[in-house]
């Protein structure tokens, strides 16, 4: 039988309400800044300090899925899952030092827009934009909704759909109201809440079990009763399923490990990470919002330091939950697991929620529930904003070449509403997912390597051209979809049950290993096709590759058309009226304010002043002092990561 969990006290409810009031205040305050222009709405006016940039990079990545997924994996097989966090530290340095300088020098809003400038044509840009939206809706939003809903159902007696819909509404309002500025500042506030709440839980959990050494010892003894009672019995097929793996305290595992093989971690995970951290719109958009390159680099360093935290704040508490609740968290018999958490494949996902509800006192339970809501809202606001940016700048402008700034911002807001509706409709399907964290990583390994290959070649090999990139993406997509469909055409039986009829190419080729194979295939196709077709002239590549990022030559963008007209004259004509803004009725001004359309008494700039402003925005110049400070900090950060990885190797 499952334990009787503590119910939320009225003090917990007050803490949750206080959290929402605080975050809403931050959202309203920040929404009044950088709202009236496309650059302000989508890139926060490129004026953000390195501290909120770094916090937003971390918050955009750490959602409720991390709290539930990482803690669940910690409960299942120890600290190994932390390699995903440690690997990200090195990739963040690649983002700041290799990729962001090119994006800033190129002067782009979105990642598909970069490929549009780099290769010309529209088919690659449209393909990546549509694929990104699909990935956002059916993986990222789905993962956060599932994990957030799981935490809520374990915590409160509340209608699941009502709770999720309320969270989605709050997330959408923040993003619709203020754009990226509101998202980044609310991210900053939420990171503080997440870290404080999770730190308190970690300390209380360590104290509860007797400290670090006790955790290491007791974890390997945390067997459910079904395993203890049937250990060694030939009559029970489930006893071995409740035993923690012998390598639970190792980050580097054997090449044939079924969960985290070392070749897949070293290479396959790196490929997926480069796609996520260096070319995914959600992440890169935060770095591009920094006021200059030095602040972007400093933001990636801060995010890198924060990536040390999940091992201690999430993974170890998940292991402690297994120690405290072995019969529930580590259940081995499918029928028992079904009764405890509704899933026959195990209940490790309830590790973090149960730890919160059983360990923390009144008030702090409410704080941790607020933390989970914070993580969920943070991730969703980031995804909503980035999705609306892609749809607006990469797809809508393709069909509406003369769209005004007002129209673009209205479409961006409407896109968020559509995503919210789709996410709500997707909730029942999300609830049926099993191994959600590995599901997301597997999907990434099936679809991300081709995109990673094209971005890496585009930035570091100028000979890459549009036909090569396109066919590399197409071949990669085809092969990845075949593996994806093939993979999920079979059902994996629960631990201890026979009947695994999957072919060896599915059951024995780990998804991270498949990611390596797919990446190499796409590189070969892209290189071969590029060499067999016409190269791109140098006049089209200035500031679009890493080697030409400092070029001062005038670049002629491939197929560039001036699709934008002078929209300043259209700024207040969204209702088809020629009235002066000051004479508009209050209700029209209110409607325009909601859409981010306000009157700004800004001085008219001369052509020379406009050119100087644009040059400053696209500058990647750094002072010598800042360059030294940032390089030294990056080396220190990576040294600490190598030490931690080696300590637990």
As a three-state string, the secondary structure of 229-252 is: HHCCCCCCCCHHHHCCCCCCCCCC
Whole-number pLDDT of residue 460? 96
CA angle centred on 496, ends 492 and 502, rounded to 5° = 30
Is the pLDDT at 585 greater than 70, yes or no? no
Give the global pTM.
0.82
Give 166's contacts (C-beta < 8 A, 6+ positions apart). none
Whole-number pLDDT of residue 154? 72
Name the residue among 253, 342, 356 with its Cα closest to residue 313: 356
Longest dimension (CA), the chain: 85
User: Do the beta carbons of residue 390 and residue 384 sit within 8 Å?
Assistant: no
Range with top average pLDDT, 330-334, 413-417, 479-483, 491-495: 479-483
CB count within 10 Å of CB 500 equals: 11
Is the pLDDT at 541 greater than 70, yes or no? yes
Whole-number pLDDT of residue 232? 61
- Torsion sign over Cα 624, 630, 634, 636: positive
Mean pLDDT value across residues 492-507:
73
Is the pLDDT at 273 greater than 80, yes or no? yes
d(CA 213, CA 211): 6
Residue 206 DSSP one-character state:
H
d(CA 22, CA 514): 45
d(CA 484, CA 476): 12
Whole-number pLDDT of residue 35? 46
SS3 call for 48:
strand
d(CA 591, CA 573): 13
Describe the crossing of helices 111-119 and 436-460 by its angle, rounded to 10 degrees.
30
Q: Give the pLDDT band of residue 531 (cuts 50, 70, 90).
A: very high
Is the pLDDT at 12 greater than 60, yes or no? yes
d(CA 100, CA 547): 13
Whole-number pLDDT of residue 196? 84
Is the pLDDT at 602 greater than 60, yes or no? no
Q: Based on the number of CB atoms within 10 Å of its own CB, is 564 exposed (0-12), middle (13-18) or buried (19 or more)?
A: middle
Mean pLDDT value across residues 628-638:
96
Q: Name the residue with tokens 């983002």.
A: 95
d(CA 225, CA 398): 61
Is the pLDDT at 446 greater than 80, yes or no? yes
The whole-angstrom distance between residue 137's C-alpha and the CA centroid of its chain comes to: 12
Mean pLDDT value across residues 9-34:
69
Mean pLDDT value across residues 560-578:
41
Range with top average pLDDT, 134-138, 157-161, 612-616, 640-644: 640-644
The residue among 67 and 457 whose pLDDT is bigger is: 457
Domains along the sequence of the chain with CATH: 10-433 (1.20.1730.10)
For residue 556 the two structure tokens come to 């002629």
d(CA 584, CA 577): 9
Whole-number pLDDT of residue 235? 52
Is the pLDDT at 271 greater than 80, yes or no? yes
Mean pLDDT value across residues 508-532:
95
Give 82's contacts (C-beta < 8 A, 6+ positions apart). 70, 251, 310, 311, 315, 648
SS3 call for 576:
coil
Q: Name the residue with tokens 């644009």.
A: 614
pLDDT tens digits, residue range 97-116? 999 999 999 888 778 788 88
The residue among 290 and 20 whose pLDDT is bigger is: 290
Range with top average pLDDT, 395-409, 616-630, 635-649: 635-649
Whole-number pLDDT of residue 48? 76
pLDDT tens digits, residue range 380-427? 766 776 677 777 877 787 777 777 777 777 787 777 777 777 766 766
CA angle centred on 108, ends 107 and 113, rounded to 5° = 140
pLDDT tens digits, residue range 350-369? 898 888 888 888 888 887 77
């Amino acid at each position: 039988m499952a334990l009787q969990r503590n119910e939320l006290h009225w003090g917990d409810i007050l803490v949750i309400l206080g959290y929402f009031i605080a975050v809403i205040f931050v959202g309203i305050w920040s929404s009044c800044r950088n709202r009236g222009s496309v650059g302000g709405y989508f890139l926060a006016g490129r004026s953000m300090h390195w501290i909120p940039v770094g916090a937003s990079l971390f918050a955009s990545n750490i959602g409720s899925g991390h709290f539930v997924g990482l803690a669940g994996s910690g409960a299942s097989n120890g600290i190994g899952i932390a390699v995903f966090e440690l690997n990200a530290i090195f990739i963040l340095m690649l983002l700041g030092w290799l990729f962001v300088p090119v994006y800033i020098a190129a002067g782009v809003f979105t990642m598909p827009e970069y490929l549009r400038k780099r290769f010309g044509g529209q088919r690659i840009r449209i393909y990546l934009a549509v694929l990104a939206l699909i990935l956002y809706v059916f993986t990222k939003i789905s993962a956060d909704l599932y994990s957030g809903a799981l935490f809520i159902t374990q915590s409160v007696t509340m209608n699941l759909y009502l709770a999720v819909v309320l969270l989605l509404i709050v997330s959408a309002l923040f993003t619709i109201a203020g754009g990226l500025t509101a998202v980044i500042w609310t991210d900053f506030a939420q990171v503080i809440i997440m870290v404080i709440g999770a730190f308190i839980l970690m300390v209380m959990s360590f104290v509860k079990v007797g400290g670090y050494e006790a955790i290491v010892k007791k974890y390997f003894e945390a067997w459910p009763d079904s395993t203890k009672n049937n250990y060694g019995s030939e009559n029970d097929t489930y006893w071995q399923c409740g035993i923690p793996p012998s390598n639970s305290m190792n980050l580097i595992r054997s090449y044939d490990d079924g969960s985290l093989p070392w070749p897949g971690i070293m290479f396959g995970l790196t490929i997926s990470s480069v796609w996520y951290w260096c070319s995914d719109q959600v992440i890169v958009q935060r770095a591009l919002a920094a006021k200059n390159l030095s602040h972007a680099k400093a933001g990636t360093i801060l995010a890198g330091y924060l990536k040390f935290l999940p091992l201690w704040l999430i993974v170890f508490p998940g292991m402690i939950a297994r120690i405290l609740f072995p019969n529930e968290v580590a259940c081995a018999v499918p029928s028992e697991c079904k009764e405890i958490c509704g899933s026959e494949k195990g209940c490790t996902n309830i590790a973090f929620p149960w730890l919160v509800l059983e360990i923390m006192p009144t008030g702090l339970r409410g704080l941790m529930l607020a933390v989970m809501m914070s993580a969920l809202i943070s991730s969703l606001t980031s995804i909503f904003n980035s999705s609306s940016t892609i749809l607006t700048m990469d797809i809508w402008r393709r069909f509406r070449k003369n769209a005004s700034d007002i129209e673009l911002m209205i479409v961006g807001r409407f896109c968020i509403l559509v995503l919210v509706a789709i996410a709500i409709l997707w909730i029942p399907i999300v609830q049926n997912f099993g191994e959600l964290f590995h599901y997301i990583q597997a999907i990434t390994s099936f679809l991300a390597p081709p995109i990673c290959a094209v971005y890496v070649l585009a930035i570091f090999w100028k000979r890459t051209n549009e036909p090569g990139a396109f066919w590399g993406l197409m071949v990669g997509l085809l092969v990845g979809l075949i593996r994806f469909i093939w993979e999920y055409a079979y059902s994996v039986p629960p631990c201890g049950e026979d009947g695994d009829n999957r072919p060896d190419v599915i059951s024995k080729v780990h998804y991270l290993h498949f990611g390596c194979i797919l990446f190499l295939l796409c590189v070969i196709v892209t290189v071969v096709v590029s060499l067999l077709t016409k190269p791109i002239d140098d006049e089209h590549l200035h500031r679009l590759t890493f080697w030409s990022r400092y070029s001062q030559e005038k670049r002629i963008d491939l197929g560039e058309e001036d699709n934008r007209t002078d929209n300043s004259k259209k700024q207040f004509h969204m209702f088809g009226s020629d009235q002066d803004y000051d004479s508009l009725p209050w209700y029209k001004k209110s409607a325009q304010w909601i859409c981010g359309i306000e009157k700004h008494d800004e001085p008219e700039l001369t052509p020379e002043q406009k050119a100087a402003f644009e040059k400053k925005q696209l500058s990647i110049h750094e002072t010598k002092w800042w360059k030294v400070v940032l390089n030294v900090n990056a080396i220190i950060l990576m040294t600490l990561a190598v030490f931690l990885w080696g300590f637990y190797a």
